[in-house]
Amino acid sequence: MRGNFYYSNGAAGMFPVRWMAPESLSDGIFRTSSDVWSYGILLYEIMTFGSFPYQGLSNRQVLAFVKSGQHILLPQACPTIL
């Protein structure tokens, strides 16, 4: 199951790509804003009652999707404040 959530980039180890910010995926940079991104993914999971983030995409596709500047769409009935 671990392979479904993590992506290995070789020497650096395994990363939970579906919860990582673009700058973390591209450059290995982790800041407060990266934590905010991950928190947003957590909120997505809560608002979708535990739906898997980026459903239908492989880990490699998630990498390309996020690095290209795209993001998950807000779930239906999600308050805009979130």
State residue 64's pLDDT score: 93
What band does 12 get if pLDDT is binned at 50, 70 and 90? Answer: low
Assigned token pair, 45: 């999971």
> What pLDDT is stored for residue 79 in this prediction?
86
When comparing pLDDT for 4 and 8, which is higher? 4
Q: Which one-letter amino acid corresponds to residue 75?
A: P
Give, as one character, the DSSP assignment of residue 18. Answer: G
Tens of pLDDT along 23-81? 998 888 889 999 999 999 999 999 999 998 999 999 999 999 999 999 888 888 888 88
In this structure, the chain runs to a length of 82
pLDDT of residue 2: 43
For residues 52 and 39, the answer to whether their CB atoms sit within 8 Å is no
